[in-house]
Structure 1
């Protein structure tokens, strides 16, 4: 599918409040056939998601420690996770430390998922992921671990107000760019 047709299809799925604010753009290199073009998403004429540029406005994490030390990341810890740590330690760890250990373990898992998703995003082909989005259901796109699929689903008009409001806990565990588009969509409700 040509870029202009793909762009038109993607824009037809934009929610009305974001139409004209969110734009999909692409650049290609005519005289460098081995150099692929770059695709990016702009919001209010600001480039917020560019697959090949890691110095954009949205925070890109470099290390697992940076993610673990970020105070803005709120990770809910369930009582089952605390109990699992208690069982592993045979009850030898004080209760106040159990939550710290459980949070640290969950943050490590989250950091690994986040860095993995981030590295796959920088290597991904926007056109391939956009075609995948157009051929799959909105539920699959939201539940996916692919950052770009999540972003495309969040700006989709098929995503209703009730579902958006019910996604707040799930969005806390997503990449900052997905959280950015979630907040953008919340402001349009």
Structure 2
């Protein structure tokens, strides 16, 4: 599907409150094969989320350590998480240490998901995610682990104000970009 047709369909699903505020933009370079192009989601004429085809190396370890050491990330640890650690570690580990190990495991999983998401922000992946969004139900897009599907669903007209307000707890565990678009939609609903 061509970019102009895809853009037209995506903008047709925008929430009425966001029409004119949220735009989809793309650039491409026809005569430069090593430059695949960029794709943006703009809010009020500012490029908020930029997706470009990655050509440089990603510092995996550094990114993971930054995420794991960020004090603002709040990951809830459930009794099932602690029990899973107890099963793998044995009965000799103190309870407070089990909580620390369970939290570190969840932070590592979260960091890996964030790194995968950051690496997947490219124009070609945006096109693929947009096409998949147009073909799936809004519920699947909201519950998906794919950041782009979440963002596209949050700014969709089929998601009502009541559903947006009921999602406040689940959004806290999502990527910061998803949280940004959630707050944007909440403020304009």
TM range (shorter): 0.7 to 0.9
Q: Any conservation in 1 of the 2:53–2:124 contact (CA below 8 Å)?
A: no
Q: Please report how far the alpha carbon of residue 53 of structure 1 lies from its aligned counterpart in structure 2 after TM superposition.
A: 8.1
1:162-173 residue pairs with structure 2 within 5 A? 162-173=162-173
Deviation track 1:8-53 (CA, whole Å, cap 9, x = no partner) reads 2111111111111111011122333563222110111111111128
TM-score by length of 1: 0.85
Q: Any conservation in 1 of the 2:37–2:123 contact (CA below 8 Å)?
A: no
Q: Any conservation in 1 of the 2:27–2:39 contact (CA below 8 Å)?
A: yes
- Structure 2 gaps of 5+ residues are 55-60
Whole-Å Cα distance in 2 between the matches of residues 77 and 19 of structure 1? 39
Quote the RMSD (CA, aligned, Å): 2.2
Pick closer, same or farther for the CA change 1:19–1:112 going to 2, 3 Å. Answer: same
Q: Which residue of 1 aligns with 2:180?
A: 180
Q: Please report how far the alpha carbon of residue 182 of structure 1 lies from its aligned counterpart in structure 2 after TM superposition.
A: 1.3
In the comparison of the two structures, how many residue pairs are matched? 183
TM-score by length of 2: 0.85
Pick closer, same or farther for the CA change 1:62–1:183 going to 2, 3 Å. Answer: farther
- Structure 1 gaps of 5+ residues are 55-60
1:13 aligns with 2:13: yes
Pick closer, same or farther for the CA change 1:184–1:53 going to 2, 3 Å. Answer: farther
Q: Please report how far the alpha carbon of residue 123 of structure 1 lies from its aligned counterpart in structure 2 after TM superposition.
A: 6.7
Q: Which residue of 2 aligns with 1:103?
A: 103
